[in-house]
Amino acid sequence: MKVVCHDRTAALRAFAKATDPLGDPFEKPYLLTFEEFKPPRGLNQNAKLHVMLRELANHIGYSEGELKDYFKQEYGRKKAVNIGGREKLIPVSTVDYTREEMALMLNHVDRLSAESGVYVEGE
């Protein structure tokens, strides 16, 4: 269960609701994690990314998917995956980006596009 709380009262209410059916004491232990909520990237940001990638792809001769993979590898957020004792950092899907992370990605695409002579107007 994930809940976004803006104050202590909301957090206590969410805790009470989540733990109500668990009994007292809990039948098994639970891990509670508190972290800052960062809103996910917006749909407009996603649409803009794809327009920019498509325009750049048409100009430099790669596919939109290839460019998206390139930018995620170069500038995107990564997660560690450990298989057989070997850890690799792999790019996270842009669907999991925060608004700030997507804004940074758009800036990188825009910069490389401008360096390549490609300018995308509007949203």
Tell me the pLDDT of the chain (123 aa) as tens digits: 677 787 888 888 887 877 776 666 667 777 778 877 777 788 899 999 999 999 999 999 999 999 999 999 999 999 999 999 999 999 999 999 999 999 999 999 999 999 999 987 654
Where do you find CATH 1.10.3790.10 in the chain? 43-115
Q: Is the peptide bond before 25 cis (omega within 30 degrees of 0)?
A: yes
CATH number of 43-115, picked from 1.10.3790.10, 1.10.10.60, 3.30.70.1350, 3.60.40.10: 1.10.3790.10
Sequence-separated (6 or more) residues with CB below 8 Å from residue 43: none
pLDDT at 24 (0 to 100):
66
Which of these, 22, 16, 6, 118, lies nearest to 62 by C-alpha position? 118
Residue 91 bridge partners (DSSP) = 78
pTM over 0.75: no
pLDDT at 81 (0 to 100):
95
Q: Which alpha helices (DSSP H) does the chain contain, by range?
A: 8-19, 43-60, 64-75, 99-115
- Say if CB 91 and CB 115 are below 8 A apart: no
